[in-house]
Structure 1
Amino acid sequence: MALVRWEPFREIETLQRQMNRLFDDLLPVTREMRDGFTFIPPAEIEETADAIHLKLEIPGMDAKDLNVEVSADAVSISGERKSETKTEEKGVIRTEFRYGKFERVIPLSTRIQNNKVQAEYKDGILTLTLPKAEEEKSKVVKVNLG
């Protein structure tokens, strides 16, 4: 019987490859995701009696690079974060910043007056105040119990 030398790191590498294959099979991955996940700005929504307040975190961009479109029942935010070109003679550059185009469409729970939307972009936070349509504010629904 021959003795075989046990190499624990080879076992770990094999396990890692098997886990990667498992996740590749379970999750549909597009080319953009494989190359560094698409940038999707996180959002925060608050609904009051008169309006919907929407905040999106979009750091590192100028307001002129953002496109905001509002319909009566959805908000679409798109833009492009362009990479800065740097030349460096020595060393290696590693970045975790996300660059490229993005788009996020957020459906709204009630109809709004899209011609009265107020927007502010400050310190990387886009804040939209979306006033509700008049019929939505005074809408009372009678519940039939019988």
Structure 2
Amino acid sequence: MSNLVNVPKNGSLANTNTHTNSNANFPTLSSWLDDVFNIELPSVFSSNFNTGITLPKVNIKETAEAFILEVAVPGMKKSDFHLDIDNQVLSISTETKEENEQKEGNYTRREFGYSSFKRTFNLPESVNDEMINANYKDGILSVLLPKKEEAKQKPARSIKIS
């Protein structure tokens, strides 16, 4: 019996002998590409396996006076956050470690937890980086990014013709 593959005029591959083809256990190129590009990435790429924390959700609002950045990070303390600005890039990061030890009878149980994240934002030239401030309340880190005076929106006005 032959293990030849018939290639029709349309260019697709088709097996002429399905019950004895030694290549039957290998995926075709198209099915392999489908598998590669259609898989769901494991949660380890987007979350911390110790705590289930993912990258926090961020809302950015613009007003006439400022940009307001709101980061949803419940369960943290304000001392857990590090905000830095360097060359018009704002970095928000946290790093928390937790250790629990319980001694009972003849055994000791220890648990360690670690979580961290870092988000960076390129700030527009219109932000006055000397006046940036932040506060943390009810699980929301709010960062106020005031605009420079010349970048603030001016109210509409009428011009009289003389």
Q: Give the TM-score taking structure 2 as reference length.
A: 0.53
Q: How much has 1:85 moved relative to structure 2?
A: 2.6
1:137 and 1:102 map into 2 onto residues whose CA distance is 32
**Structure 1 residues 125 and 86 mapped into 2: Cα distance closer, same or farther (>3 Å)?**
farther
**Structure 1 partner of 2:61:** 46
Q: Which amino acid aligns with 1:52?
A: F
Matches within 5 A, 1:79-94: 79-85=94-100, 87=102
Is residue 123 of structure 2 the alignment partner of residue 111 of structure 1?
Answer: no
Q: Please, what is the CA RMSD of the aligned residues?
A: 3.6
**Structure 1 partner of 2:148:** 133
After TM superposition, the runs of 4+ consecutive aligned structure 1 residues lying more than 3 A away are 27-32, 34-38, 70-74, 86-89
Q: How much has 1:87 moved relative to structure 2?
A: 4.4
Query: 73, 82, 92: which is aligned to 1:58?
Result: 73
Any unmatched runs of 5+ in structure 1?
Answer: 1-20, 90-97, 140-146
**Structure 2 partner of 1:78:** 93
1:53 and 1:107 map into 2 onto residues whose CA distance is 14
8 Å Cα contact 1:72/1:111 also seen in 2? no
How many aligned residue pairs are there?
Answer: 110
Q: Which amino acid aligns with 1:126?
A: L
* Higher RCO structure (Cα 8 Å, ≥6 apart): 1
Q: Which structure has greater helix proportion?
A: 1
8 Å Cα contact 2:64/2:153 also seen in 1? no
**Structure 1 residues 50 and 71 mapped into 2: Cα distance closer, same or farther (>3 Å)?**
farther
